[in-house]
Amino acid sequence: MAGVSLAKVRKTYPGGAAAVHEMSLEIADREFVVLVGPSGCGKTTLLRMIAGLETPTAGEVLIGGRPVNGVAPKDRDIAMVFQNYAIYPHMTVYDNLAFGLRRRGVPPEEADRRVREAAGILGIDALLDRRPRALSGGQRQRVAVGRAIVREPKVFLFDEPLSNLDARLRVEMRKEIKLLHRRLQTTMLYVTHDQVEAMTLGERVCVMNAGRIEQSGAPLEVYDNPATRFVAAFLGSPPMNFLPGRLRRSETRTLFEGRGFVLALPEGMTVGAEAFDLPVELGVRPEDLADDPQAAPQTFIPGAVELVEALGNEQLVHVLCGEARIISRREAHLRAPPGAAQRLVPRPDRLCLFRADSGSRLDARRRTPTP
């Protein structure tokens, strides 16, 4: 078992800008960390540096406290599962699993034990004699994960392992990877650009943007308390709504002046003096906006229904508020005909304020309530 540390690790490809900037990250022994971010933000580069497939331009990688910068990938005690898992088409499932072990000189009885154990964990025992073309996509994916398991590594690295699967299989494999972590109790670092995987899989999620970690924490903590507009917009589907405006002080309250409306901010929302001189954006998630026709002045965002997406379990009501489009998530059967006037009342404890220029959070962040 081993944790992973990155100490100011940087990667600049020849002729390119830095793909990963001075990144420091501690992954504890047995922890399950998900790195999430948009395409090109440096996720694969980071994993490949941990695996030893890419050399850091600067900084140090440690596995189990041991610096590994000069250590060959095969001697790092890690196993990586790639997006384009190449399983050998001409070999049976058994041989696909055993191949790497034989090459490493693992004795046949020991290799056989590990192959059968991994197959048992993944529920592919009955498929060991088949060739990959006779497997479903999900079964092939299991074989790819199995090849990592048989190595009994100290650390698993997953690079978007589910992105080739259809939506239903992805959900199923997501659950299995979570159970796998519970069962193996091994350190796992999982990379994805899928925010649902990030929210559901990890004990900790690190949101990456352009080669940097913008925020890291327990998934719900990051969701509830985004440090930046980027994080707020990245986690959540549909994403958080953002309304441009400015802040003003009245005698008793802080007021947000949006385009065509004024909203009194809740008492508990504290903002520094500098925020009053800046263009800002007010952020509120779709599930935190309810329509209340009786809402008092300065407690709501006015608008009109543009269209409704009925999803069966809920509906997404798109509301036009001046030029801004806002989405409000509601109970499936509440009526909201197109054109209907809306008074969208935000849940006061769920509002966020960001600087319009840098996207950094302006209001003091709340603590996530512990039940």
Ligand X SMILES: Nc1ncnc2c1ncn2[C@@H]1O[C@H](COP(=O)(O)OP(=O)(O)OP(=O)(O)O)[C@@H](O)[C@H]1O
Q: Report the partner that residue 142 touches, choosing among Mg ion, ligand X, none (CB closer than 5 to 8 A by kind).
A: none
C-beta closer to ligand X: residue 20 or 301: 20
The residues, any chain, with a CB within 8 Å of residue 175's CB and separated by 6 or more, are none
Site string for Mg ion, 151-190 (x = CB under 5 A): ----------------------------------------
Rule CB under 5 A: say whether 44 interacts with Mg ion: yes
CB of 203 to ligand X, least distance (A): 21
The residues, any chain, with a CB within 8 Å of residue 185's CB and separated by 6 or more, are 1, 30
Annotate 22-57 with b (16+ C-beta within 10 A) or e (fewer): ebebebeeebbbbbbbeeebbbbbbbbbbbbebebe
CB of 78 to Mg ion, least distance (A): 17
Q: How far is it, in rounded angstroms, from Cα 312 to Cα 333?
A: 9
CB of 249 to ligand X, least distance (A): 42
Q: Report the partner that residue 40 touches, choosing among ligand X, Mg ion, none (CB closer than 5 to 8 A by kind).
A: ligand X
C-beta closer to ligand X: residue 18 or 188: 18
Binding site residues, ligand X, CB under 6 A: 13, 16, 19, 37, 39-45, 193
C-beta of residue 309 within 8 angstroms of C-beta of residue 316 = yes
Q: How far is it, in rounded angstroms, from Cα 40 to Cα 174?
A: 23
CB of 128 to ligand X, least distance (A): 32
CB of 113 to ligand X, least distance (A): 35
Taking Cα atoms as reference points, which of 136, 158, 132 lies closest to residue 145? Answer: 158
Q: How many residues bind Mg ion (CB under 5 A)?
A: 1
Beta bridge partners of 25: 6
Q: With left for phi above 0 and alpha for psi between -120 and 50, is residue 65 left, alpha or beta? A: left
Select the residue whose beta carbon is closest to Mg ion and give its number.
44
C-beta closer to ligand X: residue 164 or 225: 164
C-beta closer to ligand X: residue 16 or 339: 16
Indicate the DSSP class of residue 142: H
- Tokens 């901010």 belong to which residue? 265
C-beta closer to Mg ion: residue 34 or 327: 34
Q: How far is it, in rounded angstroms, from Cα 27 to Cα 3?
A: 5
Q: Report the partner that residue 338 touches, choosing among ligand X, Mg ion, none (CB closer than 5 to 8 A by kind).
A: none
C-beta closer to ligand X: residue 45 or 342: 45
CB of 280 to ligand X, least distance (A): 30
Give the footprint of Mg ion on this chain (CB under 5 A): 44
